[in-house]
């Protein structure tokens, strides 16, 4: 599991874990749901975007990170997030929930519109520090994931793979998925080399993900 610092837990690690806990406990509010570029708000804070196939658990992970059950809408019906949703956390960090991709029942016209909106957003956000590409650990990389990762490589946007639903797979199967995934990620130039392992249901990996994302703000424990 990815942690904010490598090696044994140290005082510095503990400070970042506490800072991440503090940051994600701050007031978090929904700002806007954009369906076209003209609706996307300007941003003067660090942005972290969450991308993934429909029903991969994006909304559940955002809720787990912020400790709120209903901040981001979750649904058992894939493809419900059809806009770019912006959330402002503690006036320091913008969390961006991108439309789910790879949903077969969505019309080709709608999928094309979603993809165009996502591409335009990614090209025009100078404060976007990282895209978290969520992958269901039970299924691994799908062709649509490869397409998004290639798009991020071409746009020179830093991204990191986050495996979700790790509570739903056995350890040996997870290890095989990780090994196959690592072999693939070295081919992608904009991909962060470490993979985060998470379970929104069990809250596994959540505190370490908070700390890692908190580091991207350029602030730190001393500025709490």
Q: What is the pLDDT of residues 14-61, one digit of tens each?
A: 999 999 999 999 999 999 999 888 999 988 899 999 999 988 999 899
Residue 195 has pLDDT above 90, yes or no: yes
Q: How much is the pLDDT for 161?
A: 98
Residues 161 and 130 sit within 8 Å (Cβ to Cβ): no
Q: How much is the pLDDT for 103?
A: 63
Any residues with CB less than 8 A from the CB of 104 and at least 6 apart, and which?
none
Residue 192 has pLDDT above 60, yes or no: yes
Residues 68 and 91 sit within 8 Å (Cβ to Cβ): no
Residue with tokens 């991020």: 152
Lowest-confidence segment of 4-8, 81-85, 124-128, 177-181 by average pLDDT:
4-8
Residues 111 and 103 sit within 8 Å (Cβ to Cβ): yes
Any residues with CB less than 8 A from the CB of 171 and at least 6 apart, and which?
none
Label residue 6 by pLDDT band (50, 70, 90). very low
Residue 77 has pLDDT above 70, yes or no: no
Q: How far apart, in whole angstroms, are the C-alpha atoms of residue 14 and residue 112? A: 44
Residues 202 and 186 sit within 8 Å (Cβ to Cβ): no
Residue 7 has pLDDT above 80, yes or no: no
Q: How far apart, in whole angstroms, are the C-alpha atoms of residue 28 and residue 85? A: 13
Q: Nearest-5° angle of CA 19, CA 152, CA 50?
A: 40
**Among 166, 174, 162, 160, CA closest to 204:** 166
Alpha helices in 186-218 (DSSP H): 206-215
Tell me the residue ranges of DSSP E strands in 35-139.
Answer: 46-52, 84-89, 93-97, 128-136
Residue 140 has pLDDT above 90, yes or no: yes
- Can you give the pTM of this predicted structure? 0.88
Residues 152 and 190 sit within 8 Å (Cβ to Cβ): yes
Residue 104 has pLDDT above 80, yes or no: no
**What is the number of H-type helices and E-type strands within the chain?**
6, 7
Residue 222 has pLDDT above 80, yes or no: no
């Amino acid at each position: 599991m990815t942690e904010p610092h490598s090696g044994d837990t140290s005082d510095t690690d503990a400070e970042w874990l506490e800072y991440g806990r503090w940051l994600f406990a701050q007031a978090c509010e929904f700002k806007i749901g954009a369906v076209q570029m003209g609706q996307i708000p300007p941003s003067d804070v660090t942005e972290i975007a969450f991308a993934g196939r429909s029903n991969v658990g994006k909304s559940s992970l955002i809720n787990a990170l912020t400790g709120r059950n209903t901040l981001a809408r979750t649904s058992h019906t894939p493809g419900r997030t059809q806009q770019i949703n912006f959330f402002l956390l503690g006036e320091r960090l913008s969390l961006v929930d991108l439309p789910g991709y790879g949903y077969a029942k969505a019309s080709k016209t709608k999928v094309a519109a979603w993809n165009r909106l996502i591409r335009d957003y990614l090209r025009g956000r100078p404060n976007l520090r990282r895209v978290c590409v969520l992958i269901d650990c039970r299924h691994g990389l799908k062709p649509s994931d490869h397409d998004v990762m290639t798009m991020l490589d071409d746009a020179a946007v830093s991204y990191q793979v986050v495996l979700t639903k790790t509570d739903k797979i056995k350890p040996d199967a997870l290890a095989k998925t990780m090994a196959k995934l690592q072999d693939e990620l070295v081919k992608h130039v904009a991909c962060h080399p470490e993979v985060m392992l998470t379970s929104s249901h069990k809250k596994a990996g959540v505190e370490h993900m908070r700390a890692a994302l908190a580091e991207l703000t350029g602030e730190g424990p001393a500025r709490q």
